[in-house]
Structures are given as C-alpha cells and as structure tokens.
Amino acid sequence: MPKIVDHEARKVELAQAVWTVVARDGVEGASVRAVAAEAGWTRGVIAHYFKDHDDLLLFAYRLALQRESELIPTPEEQPDPVERLIGTLLRTLPVDAPSDLDFKIWLGFLGRIADNAELAQVILREHHGYFAVVRDLVADCHAAGLLDPPDGVQEASEVIRIFVDGLGIAGALDPGKYTRKRMELMIRRFLDAWRPRTHAKD
C-alpha cells in the first residue's frame, strides 16, 4: 500500500527549515541546497513543492505572518482598540526572536524586488493585507472616539504603515538602541498626537 504523504505538513516542515537556515545564515544563505540539507531531503523534493527559491521563501514568509497574526490580541483579550492597534504594530517589528527572523525574511525580499517585478507584486499584495488590518483597527479607534487623525482614517493608516516600516528598519539595523520597549514607546507617542484632548495622555 503506498505511503500517504501530507503535502501541506511537508511544506510546513520545509518552511521551518527555511526559518532555521535564515536564523543561522541570513536570507542569502537560505539557498534551496541549504534548506534541503537542513530538512534532510533532496533538492528534488523541494522542487516538487515549490517552483523556485523565491516561491519557497514566500511560503515561509506567509507562514511566519500567520504565526505573528495569531499573537495579535483579540477584542476579547484586549477590549481597548488602541491597545489592539499597538499590539498589531508591534508584531510587525523585530521585537523578539521569531519576529526578528520574520523581519529578516521581509528585508531579504526587499533586496530582490528591484529585479523581479512579479515578486514585487506578490509582496505588495501581502503588504496590502497588513495595511487593511491596520486600517480597520484605526477605524475602530476612531469610531470609539479614541483617535481623531485630522486627515481621516485612510490617510492615518498609510502614515502609520510608513512610520512602522521605518521603525522596523531602524530596529533591524540597531537592535541595541531600538529595543522592544523603546519601539513600543515611540508608537504610543506617535498615536498620542491623534488622541482627542479628553483622551490625551499626561
């Protein structure tokens, strides 16, 4: 009787091998050969599941995003929409070992999109998904009267995205200076500028 193979489980195992190699050798070191060696399989097995190196990295990145999204506080866990927004933004930053690894993969993709228009479009779609989550949270904060950005929810969401992207790069370049505590404080101060006077922090 032929062995039943759980293809999704095998792809997840390969993605985990990508994470291990990236953590040890960086994104440039995560070649198909290196990932295959880490997983204990041949390059042919990887080629069966992924069309190329970028496809493999992208699957690992999407799985990492899913992992990070599961750590975002729910409304039941955190009723305050501003705190949920802060929690969501923090999970996109290099604030611990898993998120630091995820950010490295994202930076690795940024270095490849200049010569790969197709990959650039895929990464843009992933970024739009993140932006939609942020926009919905900003809308919740606005509806609750906790944030009142002068240019509206859409514009505020775009500004937040740009600010957090820059903060993440700063954290990746200088983790000793941009600790989790400092990055959270900077996000809070950034959002405080949009709080109505009755909700402003002292």
pLDDT tens-digit series, residues 84-99: 999 999 988 999 888 8
Task: With beta carbons less than 8 A apart as the criterion, state whether 27 and 105 touch.
Answer: yes
Could you give the residue ranges of the DSSP H alpha helices within 111-151? 117-143
Residue position matching structure tokens 């600010």: 163
Instruction: Let me know: does 60 contact 35? Beta carbons within 8 Å.
Output: no
pTM of the predicted structure, to 2 decimals: 0.80
Encode pLDDT of 109-131 as tens digits. 777 777 777 777 877 787 788 88
pLDDT category, 198, cuts 50, 70, 90?
A: low
